[in-house]
Structures are given as structure tokens and as C-alpha cells.
Amino acid sequence: MGIIRKLLAWLSVPIICLFALVFYAARPFNPDNNRFLARAVARFGRAVLGMERPLEGWENMPQDRPTVVIANHQHNDDLFVVGDLLPPRTVTVGKSSLVWVPFFGQVFWLGGNVILNRGRSHKAIAVMKATSSAIARDRKSLWVFPEGTRSKGRGLQKFKKGAFHAAVASGAPITMVCVQEYADEAKGWSGRRESVAIRVLPPIETEGLTAEDIPELMARCHRQMSEAIAAL
């Protein structure tokens, strides 16, 4: 039953994206498109999976100013776990191969999201720095998985620098979304997923920081997120 639930949840993604293409085409590159689509995908997916998602600290997510959101990345199912937590006018970061995924890739591109070539790390940092101007000028928020790859529930991995360069260059606060460690598997005869708790930590201000402060900023965020995840 768990396999059927997972299959149906993921089959719903391209279907929802197909309908969303009409909406995206009507107002291309509007960053709020991403929030509405991610909300629909996440909430429908959790309903199909039978997954509960307790949430703490939602009041810490900025709604009236740009922020750089960082979250730990465990499985592909993170899309259903955190998709409906995007603040207004949020763009996300994804690898270039996502563009070729039917329907999802097209709405990802039309959403004005940041597309990175993982094999060109120096270029990736440059793109993230350039994104900082959009954060400041267009008042967009940015969602990043700073680990760069899935941990598969084996603890918080080392962070990459891109998100922190974007935050410092734009002066936007960093908001941390901490997801409880969970297994990508069903429980019991019904195939329902176990509950996955989330805690949003208070933003860390970056106004006045420079590139020299980034290593300490990264260490501070990593420490706070690790402690929060361990406590969930």
C-alpha cells in the first residue's frame, strides 16, 4: 500500500504542473507562481501519503521582507514536506537537469528560479551573488538546500557557500527551516507515512556582514540547525 501511495503522490506532480503551465504562461516569471504551485503539490502529496506535518515557529518566517531560506535536504519527498512553506515572492535553486523533467521543468524555468550547473562551483557562487541583486531590487526571497545533495536522513551535511554569499551581498536575513530526520518508507498495513515535524528558527540578520564573515555565519547556522533537528 505504501508503494501505491508514493506512486500516486509523484504521479500527481506532473499533472498539477501541467495545469499550472496555463497559469505560469499568463504571468511568466512571477515569483509568486512558485508559492502557489508548491503549496498545491505539497498539500495534495501529503494527503495521498497520509503524512502529518507538525509545524513550529511559523511566525519566524518573514512575510513582509525578502529572506534567504535554508533547509536540510533528505529525500525527494522533501517537496511534499516543505513545499507549502515558501514565503511570498520566493524563487528556489535547482540543478540544470531539472529543466528537462516534463512539465515540472518548464514551470520551474517559468517561475524564474535559479538554475545551477553543479559541475561549475565557481560559476554557481557567481550566480548566487548575482541573485542577491534580485533579492534587493525585486524584493524576492530565495529558498536553498545548502547541503547541495540529499542526506537520506543521515544527519546534516556540510554546507555550500552560495546561499550565504547571496544573503550577505543582499543584506537579507537567513531563515532556517529544520526538518526532523525521517525515512523514505511507509509504516503499517495502511502504508501511511510517519509524521515529520518542522521547526522554523528566528532569522539571522546579515546586514553589515562581509564576505570575510561568511565562514562564521555558515558555522553558526549549521550549529543551530543541527541542534534543532536533534531536538525534533
| Residue 17: all three cell numbers together | 504542473
**What is the pTM assigned to this prediction?**
0.91
Mean pLDDT along residues 189-195: 91
Facing residues of 187 across strands? Answer: 192
Can you say whether the dihedral through the CA atoms of 107, 172, 79, 43 is positive or negative?
negative
Q: Give pLDDT, residue 229.
A: 97
pLDDT in tens, 31-47: 899 999 999 999 999 99
Q: What domains appear along the chain, each with residue ranges and CATH number?
A: 2-231 (3.40.1130)
The distance of Cα 95 from the centroid of its chain, to the nearest Å, equals 13
Residue reference for cell 495521498: 48
Give me the pLDDT at residue 95, please.
76
